[in-house]
Chain A
Amino acid sequence: MHKKRLFSQIAAASAAVLILAGCGSSSDSASSGVPKVDMMKELGAGEGQVNIVAWAGYVENGSTDPNVDWVTGFEKETGCKVNVKNGATSDDMVALMKTGEYDVVSASGDASLRLIYGGDVAPVNTDLIPNYADIFDNLKMQQWNSVDGVAYGVPHGRGANLLAYRTDIVKPAPTSWGSVFDANSPYKGKITAYDSPIYLADAALYLMKTKPELGIKYPYALDQTQFDAAVELLKAQKPLIGEYWGDYLKHVASLKSGGTVLGTTWQVNINLAKGEGTKVEGIKPAEGSTGWSDTWMISSKAKNPNCAYLWINHIASPAANAGVAEWFGEAPSNAKSCDLTADKNHCATFHAADDAYWEDVYYWNTPTEECLDGRTDVKCIPYAEWVKAWSSLRNS
């Protein structure tokens, strides 16, 4: 009797709830072309704040290091208070932008196209951004930041993913990515890798150079065989890994404590670790590396579009661009910032104008079914499958 009563009550409640749940869900439908999003025509008054999704180290207001601050001045000048959320990976950033709560994002190539085709970002009116004119030409209107001649963002800077190693622990110094894939590595359990599906491209890059018989021409264009080979490589690597990193600070702390002695990193992490007294270096190995060329983009649902434009213009200005490039350790996008860096050799060190250096740096891109290397005889594996494979790998 008792049970029956409870059952009927639960049934009634569930029915009510399911009916409520069924009605009233709204969401976007998939689009095949680029969704039409309006471009802002003219700049109005600042809204008082701007919400930014950025890579760690891109939006510094002095709280990490009192001397590193290109935000406070901006806030005073424009009255736009800056709220920044660090995205750990491109996937994070895409998701955050989809919520519509952020106005600006610093998107890498493996996020930018998804944002454009998902209708999450708006075309940028470059007339409203005076500093756009000074950006290096070979960064503008690229495959990952423009569609059909329409610019969707302002280039930020570019860099390569480096191989970090503790100079006092890893001897001799590594010269190849092979050191993180070496099954007999003496540093087993202290190797790190970037915690994102895009890391599959690093595996593909290594295979591209060491197993030419697979025929990989571009790490982001992999057919089934090539993809499976990359996944196998990462599976074999897993026992060597101590931690996969997404939080750059945890990664730096690991490098400092010696929990991590070898693995993929960004220059900013090396700089931070060195600042803490760690003996660490980063190199671009013989095979080349993956990298990124970032773009500042504006949300299609931006609540503070004017402040958004003001921010983008500010970060693209020579002084701010120089500041970020030096702090993060990347090549700036504004040609004039090379004169403003504290280290006069910064642009040379980071090959800002040296095209040859970037020949074997493969910027993060979004793999699609249509092969990005131009092949039409096979289907390539789209990013959604990369995500699935990565998830499988991480959870097994």
Chain B
Amino acid sequence: MTISRNARLALAALMGVGLSFIYIPLSVVVINSFNASRTFSWPPTHFTTEWWSKALTNTGVREAIKWSVLAGLSATLIALVLGTVLAFAVSRYQFFGREVISLLVVLPISLPGIVTGIALNNAFTKQLGMSTGLLTVIIGHATFCIVVVYNNAIARLRRMGTSLQEASMDLGANGITTFRLVTLPNLASALFAGGLLAFGLSFDEIVVTTFTAGPGIQTLPIWIFNNLFRPNQAPIVNVVAATLVVFSIIPIYLSQRLSQDSTSGGRF
């Protein structure tokens, strides 16, 4: 199939249209963070950097970021452990329930968030008598983060095969040393990519968090939701959003560089 010049141009144009579709609303957010009108009348008549300086000193934002990072890191850690361990089990062994497990691991992310949210809330508060708080948020997030790590780990494990492992053991290393010195280094970049994606998912999650966070916990998305329409706080929300977009380029670039595979996990 030779792609004619016209087709190339057409596709390039479509790509351009697509990218504008994606970035125009985001630009509106960034522009509004400089909009002097508190209720973002459009088009902006005056610009100001007042919101940016206010955002830096706003305690609500800082608290929210703290909670989000805390929850995100903990959930990612749990997901890394559980996802990797599960990937090992599914890729290297045959056992009763193997197919169910691989279906099961996808479930938390394929069921609508609100179902997961109310199920977890009901379980925590009514069945277990716990009160919602940071722990319940972490449990909720870890549950749907497992699949992300699992997918990356299992793709890498399948590509790696067992030959390196076997060679290492033939040469005298025991299972644990082999894991430490042979398997883990090869797995590392896939785990990093998975962990990054998991953290991103957790950081931006609002639905499950709404149902699992207690009164004192305001993760960043919850803070944004509560302040979205407040005249004094809404401009700060825009600043936070603009910052998130700009800063997110870093982890994306990192994950691109580290995984030789395409960003979705496996290349064959």
Q: CB within 8 Å of B: which residues of A? A: 5-6, 9-10, 12-13, 24-27, 49, 51, 63-65, 83, 85-86, 99-102, 247, 249-250, 252-253, 256-257, 272, 275-276
Interchain CB contact (< 8 A) of A24 among B125, B127, B215, B232: B127
- Complex contacts, A252 vs chain B, CB 8 Å: 229, 231
- Complex contacts, B126 vs chain A, CB 8 Å: 25-27
Q: Are A12 and B232 in contact (CB under 8 A)?
A: no
16 contacts across the A-B interface (CB closer than 8 A): A6-B100, A13-B97, A25-B127, A51-B216, A83-B215, A83-B216, A85-B215, A86-B226, A99-B132, A101-B214, A102-B215, A247-B229, A249-B229, A249-B231, A252-B229, A257-B39
CB-CB under 8 A for A249 and B230, given A85-B215, A101-B215: yes
**Which of B96, B129, B230 is the most central at the interface, judged by chain A CB atoms within 10 Å of its CB?**
B230
* Residue ID in chain B nearest A62 by CB atoms: B232
Q: Are B229 and A9 in contact (CB under 8 A)?
A: no
What CA separation (Å) do A16 and B214 show in the bound complex?
30
CB-CB under 8 A for A276 and B229, given A63-B60, A253-B39, A256-B39: no
Contact residues, B215-268 vs A (CB, 8 A): 215-216, 226, 228-233
* Size bracket of the B interface: 20 to 34
* Residue ID in chain A nearest B59 by CB atoms: A63
Q: Are B230 and A100 in contact (CB under 8 A)?
A: no
Q: Is the interface of A mostly helix, strand, loop or mixed?
A: mixed
B131 within 8 A of A: yes
What CA separation (Å) do A49 and B216 show in the bound complex?
10
Closest CB in chain B relative to A12 CB, distance in Å: 7
Closest CB in chain B relative to A252 CB, distance in Å: 7
- Complex contacts, B170 vs chain A, CB 8 Å: none
Closest CB in chain A relative to B111 CB, distance in Å: 15
CB-CB under 8 A for A9 and B97, given A24-B127, A27-B126, A253-B229: yes
Q: Are B215 and A272 in contact (CB under 8 A)?
A: no
- Complex contacts, B230 vs chain A, CB 8 Å: 63-64, 249
CB-CB under 8 A for A63 and B233, given A6-B99, A9-B96, A256-B39: yes
Contact residues, B172-220 vs A (CB, 8 A): 214-216
Q: How many A-B residue pairs have CB under 8 A?
A: 62
Interchain CB contact (< 8 A) of A276 among B97, B226, B231: B231
What CA separation (Å) do A99 and B131 show in the bound complex?
8
Q: Are B232 and A65 in contact (CB under 8 A)?
A: yes
Closest CB in chain A relative to B225 CB, distance in Å: 10
What CA separation (Å) do A25 and B123 show in the bound complex?
9
Q: Are A101 and B229 in contact (CB under 8 A)?
A: no
In the complex, given contacts A51-B215, A63-B230, what are 18 additional A-B residue pairs having Cβ atoms less than 8 angstroms apart?
A: A5-B99, A9-B97, A9-B98, A9-B99, A13-B100, A25-B127, A63-B232, A64-B231, A85-B215, A99-B125, A99-B132, A101-B131, A101-B132, A247-B229, A252-B231, A256-B39, A276-B38, A276-B231
* Residue ID in chain A nearest B131 by CB atoms: A101
What CA separation (Å) do A10 and B129 show in the bound complex?
29
What CA separation (Å) do A344 and B228 show in the bound complex?
34
Q: Are A26 and B127 in contact (CB under 8 A)?
A: yes
What CA separation (Å) do A61 and B155 show in the bound complex?
51
Which 6 A-B residue pairs are closest in the complex by CB-CB distance? Answer: A249-B229, A9-B100, A51-B215, A9-B97, A83-B215, A6-B99
- Complex contacts, A250 vs chain B, CB 8 Å: 229
* Residue ID in chain A nearest B98 by CB atoms: A9
- Complex contacts, B232 vs chain A, CB 8 Å: 63-65
Closest CB in chain A relative to B13 CB, distance in Å: 34
Contact residues, B124-168 vs A (CB, 8 A): 125-127, 129, 131-132
- Complex contacts, A5 vs chain B, CB 8 Å: 99
- Complex contacts, A249 vs chain B, CB 8 Å: 228-231
What CA separation (Å) do A108 and B232 show in the bound complex?
28
What CA separation (Å) do A167 and B99 show in the bound complex?
65
Closest CB in chain B relative to A355 CB, distance in Å: 36
What CA separation (Å) do A83 and B226 show in the bound complex?
13
